[in-house]
């Protein structure tokens, strides 16, 4: 007989997971997400200034600088970027690492086993590729930087498709997480294809003999919106998974007192 797990005032009604690792991963996701945000914020404060379109600006321009600008050795205004660069590289790598760990939690919030499995698989692959972006600043390694983006982008967008589809079919998934995932998928797609368009246009300009850098146009604001949605999504999935998973002591007691049985999760229900 199917039985739904009862929720409480602080956590949504979701399938119960007895995996002791779930709570550790969820806590690690939240800590890494917060640490990444702090590191990136420090990099923004320390960045000397300048963008591809406005190189003479002083200080960080929130809606005009892309994330990889902060990791350049020399800022666009010509000043050394020694202070901001390590914080930017650390924060960027950490936020993608947190994203990869978040995808491991897909089975906790998605009832559909196939969607959870594929969302987790493609999400981890996308994060593993993206974590190398800070090591290849676009001004120093334009080809490697572009290849990493072109590799991570399709993996990430594919993961978004399975996350959104899986959450829509999950009766137990909270509604706000569904909308948050759809918003993240849309903003990520817009940012990626805007970058692809900019990259193609710049390649055409340079192949025609022009050395002028084509302005990034909408890439920076779209990337910023996607980044904000990404860190919120990471924190929310981590919070939900942490609330759903039993405490480690409770999980250990359950594991010792009950024989190991196969438990199948589907449609927000567990079999008793």
Tokens in use for 205? Answer: 């300009």
pLDDT by position in tens, the chain (length 272): 444 444 433 344 444 445 678 888 999 999 999 999 999 999 999 999 888 778 888 889 888 888 888 999 999 888 999 999 999 999 999 999 999 999 999 988 998 999 999 999 999 999 999 999 988 888 788 889 889 999 999 999 999 999 999 999 888 888 999 999 999 999 999 999 888 877 776 655 555 554 444 455 678 889 999 999 999 999 999 999 888 865 544 444 444 444 443 333 333 433 33
Query: How far apart (Å, rounded) are the C-alpha atoms in residues 36 and 228?
Result: 12
Element at 2 (helix H, strand E): strand 2-3
Nearest Cα residue to 123 out of 143, 106, 141: 106
The two tokens of residue 67 are 């994330």
What count of other Cβ atoms lies within 10 Å of the Cβ of residue 165? 18
The pLDDT value recorded for residue 43 is 95
Rounded to whole angstroms, the Cα distance separating 54 from 66 reads: 13
Global pTM value: 0.77
Give the closest residue to 242 by CA, choosing from 102, 75, 90, 54: 102
**Contact assessment for residue 222 and residue 187, using Cβ atoms and an 8 Å cutoff:** yes
Angle between the 142-168 and 113-130 helix axes, to the nearest 10 degrees? Answer: 160
């Amino acid at each position: 007989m199917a039985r739904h797990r009862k929720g409480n005032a602080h956590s949504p009604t979701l399938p119960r997971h007895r995996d002791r690792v779930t709570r550790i991963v969820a806590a690690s996701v939240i800590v890494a997400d917060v640490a990444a945000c702090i590191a990136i914020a420090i990099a923004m404060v320390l960045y000397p200034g300048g963008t591809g379109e406005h190189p003479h600006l002083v200080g960080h321009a929130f809606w005009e600088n892309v994330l990889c600008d902060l990791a350049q050795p020399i800022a666009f205004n010509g000043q050394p970027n020694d202070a901001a660069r390590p914080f930017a590289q650390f924060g960027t790598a950490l936020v993608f690492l947190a994203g990869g760990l978040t995808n491991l939690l897909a089975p906790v919030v998605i009832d559909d086993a196939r969607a959870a499995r594929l969302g987790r698989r493609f999400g981890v692959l996308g994060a593993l590729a993206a974590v190398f972006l800070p090591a290849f600043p676009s001004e120093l390694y334009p080809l490697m930087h572009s290849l990493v983006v072109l590799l991570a982008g399709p993996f990430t967008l594919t993961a978004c498709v399975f996350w959104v589809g899986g959450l829509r079919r999950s009766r137990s998934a909270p509604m706000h997480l569904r909308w948050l995932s759809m918003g993240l998928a849309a903003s990520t797609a817009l940012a990626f294809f805007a970058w692809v368009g900019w990259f193609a246009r710049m390649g055409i300009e340079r192949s025609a003999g022009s050395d002028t850098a084509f302005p990034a146009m909408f890439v920076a604001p779209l990337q910023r919106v996607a980044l904000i949605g990404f860190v919120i999504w990471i924190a929310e999935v981590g919070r939900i998974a942490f609330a759903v998973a039993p405490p480690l002591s409770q999980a250990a007691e359950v594991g010792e007192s009950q024989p190991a049985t196969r438990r199948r999760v589907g449609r927000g229900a567990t079999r008793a």
